[in-house]
A = this chain, B = another copy of it.
């Protein structure tokens, strides 16, 4: 008997991107991701978070994911987990940094929560681009969870380059929009 779980992305998502398109700069990659985070708010299909997996060198887009916790009913369906899992299914490997798959980069509009931080480490990606600061939690009320005090160094020690604060202000604007939309902040304990 089958025993499995499945996480869907929203139907609008593939209309907004071209898998395989090349995004040369990290700014162009982040710009795509921020656009998708905003669309997830506009379409009311989830939290204000999006992520993309790119070939690090060429910028070829391998996968994207937007937050689907509410729609899927699966609390781990954060944007990062979705994008990484979709990339791994597409490339047929659990290791996005293996010699056969080549190096990959995850671009995400805001600092990963503690779960996604771990998911990034195990995914095999060798580069992370994101934005960092207390502003997202302050604006939205989402909880990132307890990251290790030396989380940057712990990434580096596992072979993951880290670039922070690319289009920081643009990323924040989407959180203000989410707050103003009155959409739920769905950390389980936050609902009580």
Query: Quick one: CB contact mask for A113-138 with B, threshold 8 Å, 1 for yes?
Result: 11111110111100000000000000
Partner among B73, B122, B146 whose Cβ is within 8 Å of the Cβ of A188: B122
> Assuming A3-B13, A115-B121, is B85 touching A74 (CB within 8 A)?
yes
Query: Quick one: CB contact mask for A68-79 with B, threshold 8 Å, 1 for yes?
Result: 011011111000
Q: Chain B residues near A149 (CB, 8 Å)?
A: 148-149
Which residues from 140 to 192 on chain A have a C-beta closer than 8 Å to any C-beta of chain B? 143, 145-151, 154, 158-159, 186-189, 191-192
Task: Determine if A115 and B124 form an interchain contact, defined as CB atoms under 8 angstroms apart.
Answer: no
Query: Quick one: CB contact mask for A88-117 with B, threshold 8 Å, 1 for yes?
Result: 110011111110000000000000011111
**Chain A interface, number of residues (Cβ within 8 angstroms):** 61
Task: Determine if B94 and A73 form an interchain contact, defined as CB atoms under 8 angstroms apart.
Answer: yes
Q: Chain B residues near A82 (CB, 8 Å)?
A: 5
Q: How far is the CA of A88 from the CA of B92 in the complex (A)?
A: 26
User: Can you list 23 A-B pairs with a CB-CB distance of less than 8 A?
Assistant: A3-B14, A4-B86, A5-B6, A5-B82, A69-B94, A70-B94, A72-B94, A74-B88, A74-B89, A75-B123, A76-B84, A76-B85, A97-B188, A98-B188, A115-B121, A116-B118, A118-B118, A121-B145, A145-B154, A146-B148, A147-B148, A148-B149, A159-B189
Chain A interface residues (CB < 8 Å from chain B): 1-9, 11, 13-14, 69-70, 72-76, 81-82, 84-86, 88-89, 92-98, 113-119, 121-124, 143, 145-151, 154, 158-159, 186-189, 191-192
